[in-house]
A and B are shown apart, each in its own frame.
Chain A
Amino acid sequence: AQSVTQPDIHITVSEGASLELRCNYSYGATPYLFWYVQSPGQGLQLLLKYFSGDTLVQGIKGFEAEFKRSQSSFNLRKPSVHWSDAAEYFCAVVPNDYKLSFGAGTTVTVRA
């Protein structure tokens, strides 16, 4: 079955430490790839997206993601986490039929 997998349900990281969130997808062709962030009680904000070209993409709030075709992965990274980065993060893909498929999400807790 086609799917989007975020293996980590919850990650705790210290403020100032680096963060990496994993995302794997299982679709035949390379889909369009997205990362969204959702703060508590809020809607979804687009962090970054990959359509084609350079496999390392830069987003807002200091986030970046790397697309690896061989691993069917699109992992999100941030070199130094701020307390305001505590939120839930969703990986999403649009395979080829304009419908967005979401992973289950990763909750990030930032400790002082």
Chain B
Amino acid sequence: NAGVTQTPKFRVLKTGQSMTLLCAQDMNHEYMYWYRQDPGMGLRLIHYSVGEGTTAKGEVPDGYNVSRLKKQNFLLGLESAAPSQTSVYFCASSLEGVEQFFGPGTRLTVL
């Protein structure tokens, strides 16, 4: 039982490049979330999903897209990376939308 895993752990992009972050969970959870963490701001919700095939915007969705084609996976895409998207990204999942279980994070640097 791996819980919540994230791929990759680290990534460096140039401005304008695109990439996809993968989140996978093996707990059969309905809810999945993407957050970004920046110093002094806690974690802020980017997008979330309440079930396979559904997605919704969170607090800071601009510049990101997501997809939940399979229940166990939640993908976060950056179509044209900007330096402001330099951050640590965390994925989380939840069975009933209350207690969330977090992945180890992905550290992204955009030059």
B-binding residues in A (CB < 8 A):
4, 9, 32, 34, 36, 42-44, 46, 49, 51, 90, 92, 94, 98-105
Contact = CB atoms under 8 A, between A and B. Distances in A.
- Chain B binding surface, main DSSP class: loop
Nearest to A43: B104
Nearest to B48: A99
Contacts of B40: 9, 104-105
A44 B42 contact: no
B31 A98 contact: yes
B50 interface: yes
Interface string B32-54: 01000000111111001010000
B48 A43 contact: no
Interface stretch (B11-19, B63-71, B90-98): B90-98
A103 B97 contact: no
Given A42-B104, A90-B43, A105-B42, A99 B58 contact: yes
